[in-house]
Amino acid sequence: MRLIDLRSDTVTRPTDAMRRAMASAEVGDDVFGDDPTVIALEERAADLLGKEAGLFVTSGTQGNLVAQLGHLARGQETIAASESHMIIDEAAGHAVIVGTSIRALRERPDGTLDPVEIADAFRDPSDPHEPITGLVTIENTHAHSMGQPLSVEYTATVAAIAHERGVPLHVDGARFFNAVVAQEVSARALAGPADSVTFCLSKGLGCPVGSVLVGSKDFIWRARRGRKLVGGGLRQVGILAAAGLVALGDGPDGMIARLADDHANARRLAEGLAELDGIESAGGIAQPAPGRLDPARVRTNFILFKVRGDRAAFLAALKARDVLMVEYPHGAVRAATHHDVTAADVDTILQATREVLRETAGRSAAAAGART
């Protein structure tokens, strides 16, 4: 049986069109700035998001890191969401490499930070005790709130607070195009208020490697220097950029518009899961209301939930049926839909989950019986 891998949208394999484009890509030495395919990708990304320039980087983590290097001076501070990838999952690059601190604010269940709290979190630059606030970041889509997309209006509100205080706004848009498609807005409109945005090619857009950082020409020059510093200057990397150009294309091989299919599959999967006894709300900011999983929380390609009983046993039993999901923080399970998960797969996944829940419920009942 074919493996259905829902652990992440990073597991996608490049499409045939990407493989063809990669095989025939025109390349040069990108550190000299003369790889035409990389240049074309950076220009395409900048144009799509309405910014002056782009920078091809190896990963979302590297994009966020070099964005910080481009925006911040040592000893400054970034305001960010406490469950954001930049704080939890980037090996403290802000501290180790950028030399900055982070002021973490608790996010709300819609993935946003309270604008009043953002304004209050700015340090007093006239007080020599305090770090100087140098950057505000938001994550769009916001992973831990079950992939909530953040709106143009919210992005503009946060940007205004930051800009009034002379500070830029960076968007960690690892799944930026999921937010664009889910809200039926243009990438330009959603990126407009921000000073910089990173988005990943290697997640829902299906590419094997890479992310792009966009912003002003000056900022991208500083980020390019930062990329060199962290060893991210690559040579004939047009081979990889070629896949990105396919993904960002308007034609039938383009990967942006089809993200709507992933969202529809995720919603249908959540609706099915919500009916199963043993599948429960993930709690926390993913779904504050206890009880059944609420499919209305699924607005992009993430489903977060808890299972009654042993989570590891649940995942192992699913794996035995060729369906992979993954443990997520706070005791949850994540299932992410993507290009390699079809609408028909949703039925297979639901059937496998139903069987597993029945099997694990049977086992717990037997164990309880043995104890009495």
Q: Which residues are near ligand PLP by CB under 6 A?
A: 59-61, 85, 139, 143, 172, 174, 200, 202, 211
CB 197 within 8 A of CB 191: yes
CB 148 within 8 A of CB 94: no
β-pairing, 101-105 with 302-307? unpaired
Q: Which two tokens stand for residue 222?
A: 């500083």
Closest approach of Cβ 10 to ligand PLP, in Å? Answer: 6
Closer residue to ligand PLP (CB): 122 or 199:
199
Closer residue to ligand PLP (CB): 179 or 349:
179
Closest approach of Cβ 84 to ligand PLP, in Å? Answer: 7
Distance CA 172, CA 202 (A): 14
Closer residue to ligand PLP (CB): 187 or 200:
200
Closest approach of Cβ 202 to ligand PLP, in Å? Answer: 6
Distances from the Cα of 37 to the Cα of 137, 251, 259, angstroms: 30, 18, 24
User: What DSSP letter does each residue of 80-149 carry, written as one string?
Assistant: EETTSHHHHSSTTHIIIII--EEEEEPPPTTSPPPHHHHHHH---TT-TTSPEEEEEEEESSBGGGTSBP
**Closest CB to ligand PLP: residue number:** 60
Closer residue to ligand PLP (CB): 145 or 353:
145
Closer residue to ligand PLP (CB): 94 or 123:
94
CB 274 within 8 A of CB 294: yes
Nearest to 314 by CA among 299, 330, 297, 332: 332
Closer residue to ligand PLP (CB): 48 or 143:
143
Closest approach of Cβ 58 to ligand PLP, in Å? Answer: 8
Closest approach of Cβ 49 to ligand PLP, in Å? Answer: 16
User: What DSSP letter does each residue of 26-38 carry, written as one string?
Assistant: ----TTTT--HHH
Closer residue to ligand PLP (CB): 121 or 336:
336
Q: What are phi and psi of 170, to 5 degrees?
A: -110, 135
Closest approach of Cβ 367 to ligand PLP, in Å? Answer: 36
Instruction: Find residue 197's DSSP bridge partners.
Output: 171, 214
Closest approach of Cβ 201 to ligand PLP, in Å? Answer: 9
Closest approach of Cβ 9 to ligand PLP, in Å? Answer: 8
Q: Enumerate long-range contacts of 36-40, CB under 8 Å, 24 or more apart.
A: 36/238, 37/238, 37/239, 37/241, 37/242, 37/245, 38/237, 38/238, 38/241, 40/241, 40/245
Closer residue to ligand PLP (CB): 85 or 297:
85
Cβ of 244: how many Cβ atoms within 10 Å? Answer: 31
Closer residue to ligand PLP (CB): 109 or 131:
109
Closest approach of Cβ 263 to ligand PLP, in Å? Answer: 16
Nearest to 40 by CA among 196, 240, 256: 240
Looking up tokens 């290009």 gives: 339
